[in-house]
Amino acid sequence: MRAEAIRSHLRKQPFRPIRAYISDGASYDVRHPAMMFITQIEVYIAIDPGNQRVRERAVYCDPKHITRIESIDGARRNPRRKRRAS
C-alpha cells in the first residue's frame, strides 16, 4: 500500500481499531493511532504490551508489504442497506 493510503486509516474520525496484514502472512492490531508511525519508506507498529502501559517492542516494514487493512471489529466500510418491505 502507499504510505498515504495507510495514513488515511489512522486519520479517520472517530478512530476505529484496525488490523494490518503483511505480505509475509503476519498481522498486527493497531488499537490506537499512536501505535503506528508512517514514513514514505517504513511503517513502525508498536506491539500491544498487554497489561503494561509502555510499549517495549515494535515491528517495521516497507509500506509496500502491507497488503490490506481491515477494521478489527469486522464491520464493513459500506454496508448495504436493506430494503424495506412496502
- Beta-carbon contacts of 71 under 8 Å, excluding residues fewer than 6 positions away, are 16, 17, 18, 19, 77
Q: Across residues 12-41, what is the average pLDDT?
A: 93
Residue ranges of domains in the chain, CATH in brackets: 3-71 (2.30.30)
Task: Output the CA angle 29-7-26, nearest 5 degrees.
Answer: 30
Say if CB 33 and CB 10 are below 8 A apart.
yes
Q: Across residues 4-26, what is the average pLDDT?
A: 94
**pLDDT tens digits for range 37-82:** 999 999 999 987 666 666 678 999 999 999 999 999 754 444 444 4
This model's pTM is above 0.85: no
- Cα torsion 30, 31, 34, 36 to 10°: value is 0
Please report the pLDDT score of residue 21 as a whole number: 96
Please report the pLDDT score of residue 78 as a whole number: 45
Is residue 15 predicted with pLDDT exceeding 50?
yes
